[in-house]
């Protein structure tokens, strides 16, 4: 059997999978490495039985060693199979890339130039490409972009109110989490084909968090913008911030650009507000007043953005929750939806706490769903199309 391998190198984890190269379907094998260093975890499984092995990997100290461990495990599990392509989640594709592409020298150089726009992700994404080339020499490498799903936005959704020349030079809102949004949009067509083509808001809530307004299956607005800092507060990222704060920090507090970047990308969000953790699970379990305030702010911003997406769409037919928090925290879903009956959204608390797919009440005009995202499967789907063209 010919197989394709997917690699999803995030800011704090490495996810990987193998799929049949000939047809769409569930992964033949998949796994994840996270907690790099002293708390490293490596979990992987083969087939659809759900069986998995959890191995403490003392060798996993960083992204690079996690990628190597992933490739070694995949090679062991798929020995005898031909790897015909490796697909990569690339967070930033810039203004040019609206479709997946083969990663050739010119493309790699172009994507490297975008590192500063996604410093927590892009360098790790591209390091994964280099590692895959060394591990699977001569095998086509395909870039699948998180920004591509948003490239059809109207001008008003992407432009900043600064001189237009900056927009023409690429200073614009790009939006992210596109692979997740595209997968959830596809999944909704199976769950609710009648409404999936209407006015949909997808909330990708996790260590990285954003919302996307989808109409007729196409992204029309996103809470994330030029970088992955804008919009909702995240695990360690600030979310929306008055640019005057950055000027103040640099001019009055004499912070360097590097210091500000570290603050906004790595020390803010839930971690900065709580002083405790970037992990929503830890905050929900905590009795700390600051942890509760951090959660309150996260919910407040999510409710505010949900209302904004509704205004852009002219109403909502479907709300879909996905991502680590969106899929697993019934309490956060309930708090976001509480009092949203003015939008036609009424939650079924029992269904929500029971972790059902449909969590809206029977009388709700807006249907609410919990949809497990699968970026790896979307990468494999996109990669097959590129390989077929090749």
Residue 352: strand, helix, or coil: helix
What is the rounded CA–CA span in Å between residue 203 and residue 209? 8
**Per-chain mean pLDDT for the chain:** 94
pLDDT tens, 265-312? 999 999 999 999 999 999 999 999 999 999 999 999 999 999 999 999
3-class DSSP state of 138? coil
For residue 83, give the nearest of 14, 133, 18, 15 by alpha carbon.
Answer: 18
- State pTM to two decimals: 0.94
Which secondary-structure segment (H or E) carries 43?
strand 41-46
User: Could you give the 3-state DSSP secondary structure of residue 322?
Assistant: strand
CA–CA dist 185, 18 (Å, integer): 22
Which of 24, 34, 146, 216 is flagged as catalytic? 146
Rg (CA), the chain: 21
Looking at residue 50, its pLDDT comes to 45
In the predicted structure, residue 146 carries a pLDDT above the cut 70: yes
Between 195 and 117, the more confident residue is 195
For the ranges 21-30, 33-42, 52-61, the lowest mean pLDDT is seen at 52-61
Max CA-CA distance within the chain?
Answer: 62
User: What is the distance of C-alpha 193 from the center of its chain?
Assistant: 24
Nearest-10 Cα torsion for 16, 20, 26, 30: -20
Q: What is the DSSP letter of 173?
A: -
Confidence grade of residue 120 (pLDDT, cut at 50, 70, 90): confident
pLDDT-based confidence at residue 48 (cuts at 50, 70, 90):
low
For residues 266 and 323, give the distance between their C-alpha atoms in angstroms, rounded to a whole number: 20
Quick one: residue 14, left, alpha or beta (phi over 0 = left, psi -120 to 50 = alpha)? Answer: beta
Whether residue 313 has pLDDT greater than 70: yes
pLDDT surpassing 60 at residue 247: yes
116-149 as b/e: b if 16+ CB within 10 A: ebbbbbbebbbebbebbeebbeebbbbbbbbbbb
Q: What is the C-alpha separation between 206 and 228, in angstroms, rounded?
A: 13
What is the rounded distance in angstroms from the CA atom of residue 33 to the CA atom of residue 292? 29
b/e sequence 83-115, b meaning 16+ C-beta within 10 Å: bbbbbbbbbbbbeebeebbebeeebbebbeebe
Q: Which domains are delineated in the chain?
A: 2-145 (3.30.420.40), 193-370 (3.30.420.40)
d(CA 75, CA 83): 9
Ramachandran quadrant class, 314 (left: phi over 0; alpha: psi -120 to 50; beta: rest): left
Can 279 be counted among the known catalytic residues? Answer: no
The answer to whether the beta carbons of residues 211 and 222 sit under 8 Å apart is: yes
Paired with 19 in beta bridges are 4
Query: How far is Cα 370 from Cα 356, in angstroms, rounded to an integer?
Result: 7
Q: pLDDT by residue (tens digit) across 327-378? A: 999 999 999 999 999 999 999 999 999 999 999 999 999 999 999 999 999 9
Conformational region of residue 241, where left means phi above 0, alpha means psi within -120 to 50, and beta covers everything else: beta
| Beta strands 141-145 and 101-102, pairing class | antiparallel
pLDDT band at 49 (very low <50, low <70, confident <90, very high): very low
Q: Which residue has the tokens 């640099």?
A: 250
- The pLDDT tens digits for 355-367 are 999 999 999 999 9
Average pLDDT over residues 87-109: 96
């Amino acid at each position: 059997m010919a197989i394709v391998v997917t690699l999803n190198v995030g800011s704090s984890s490495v996810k990987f999978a193998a799929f049949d190269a000939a047809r769409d379907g569930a992964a033949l094998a998949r796994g994840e490495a996270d907690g790099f260093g002293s708390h490293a975890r490596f979990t992987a499984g083969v087939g659809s039985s759900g069986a998995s092995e959890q191995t403490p990997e003392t060798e996993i100290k960083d992204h690079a060693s996690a990628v190597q461990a992933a490739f070694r495990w995949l090679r062991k599990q798929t020995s005898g199979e031909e790897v015909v392509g490796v697909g990569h989640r690339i967070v930033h594709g810039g203004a040019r890339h609206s479709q997946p592409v083969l990663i050739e020298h010119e493309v790699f150089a172009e994507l490297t130039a975008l590192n500063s726009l996604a410093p927590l992700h892009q360098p790790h994404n591209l390091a994964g490409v280099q590692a895959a080339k060394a591990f699977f020499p001569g095998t086509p490498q395909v870039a699948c972009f998180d920004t591509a799903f948003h490239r059809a936005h109207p001008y008003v959704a992407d432009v900043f109110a600064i001189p237009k020349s900056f927009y023409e030079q690429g200073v614009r809102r790009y939006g992210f989490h596109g692979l997740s949004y595209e997968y959830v949009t596809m999944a909704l067509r199976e769950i609710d084909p009648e409404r999936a083509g209407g006015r949909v808001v997808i909330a990708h809530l996790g260590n990285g968090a954003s919302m996307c307004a989808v109409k007729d299956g196409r992204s029309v607005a996103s809470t994330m913008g030029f970088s992955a800092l804008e919009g909702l507060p995240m695990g360690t990222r600030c979310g929306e911030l008055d640019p005057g704060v950055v000027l103040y920090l640099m001019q009055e507090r004499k912070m360097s650009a590097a210091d500000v970047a570290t603050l906004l990308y790595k020390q803010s969000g839930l971690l900065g507000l709580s002083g405790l953790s970037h992990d929503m699970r830890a905050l929900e379990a905590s009795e700390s007043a600051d942890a509760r305030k951090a959660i309150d702010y996260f919910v407040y911003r999510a409710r505010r953005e949900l209302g904004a997406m509704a205004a852009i769409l002219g109403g909502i037919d479907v709300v879909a929750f996905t991502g680590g928090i969106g899929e697993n925290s019934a309490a956060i879903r309930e708090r976001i939806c509480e009092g949203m009956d003015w939008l036609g959204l009424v939650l079924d608390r029992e269904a929500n706490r029971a972790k059902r797919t449909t969590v809206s009440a029977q009388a709700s005009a807006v249907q609410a769903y919990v949809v497990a995202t699968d970026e790896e499967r979307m990468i494999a789907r996109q990669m097959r199309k590129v390989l077929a063209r090749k």
